[in-house]
Amino acid sequence: MMMNTMELDGFTAVIRYNDETGEFRGEIQGLNGGADFYGKSSDDLRREFRASLDFFIETCAKNGIEPKKAASGKLMLRVPPAVHSAALVAAQAAGTSLNQWAAKVLAEAAQG
């Protein structure tokens, strides 16, 4: 199964292709609920992404719900001790705390 993403109005959908059905399925990420869409071509997907997103946002507005799921800003990670140690050294070498260093590394990785 192949996976990719599609962007629309600041929202990201994960696109998966099902070889058995010959169809793509998009699932919009980071929502206060679920929204998906289907298509056989990129044009179908973009059109259905728009329709699904618009419907979800309209439904949220009618019910007084924020469409995007809020993040607390707190993140707990479990990593192997060797990774923890290497991250500590990298943070010290950068002259920052491990928290500041990890936040920077995660932000860079998430954007690109």
Using one digit for the tens of pLDDT, what is the confidence trace for 10-62?
999 999 998 988 999 999 999 999 999 999 999 999 999 999 999 999 999 99
Tokens standing for 19? Answer: 């070889």
The CA distance from 38 to 65, in Å, is 25
What are the phi and psi torsion angles at 73 (to 5°)?
90, -5
What predicted TM-score, i.e. pTM, was given to this entire model?
0.74
56-101 residue pLDDT tens? 999 999 999 999 999 899 999 999 999 999 999 999 999 999 999 9
The CA distance from 112 to 107, in Å, is 9
Tokens standing for 70? Answer: 């809020």
Domain extent listing, the chain: 2-63, 81-111
Burial of residue 3 (CB within 10 Å: 0-12, 13-18, 19+) is exposed
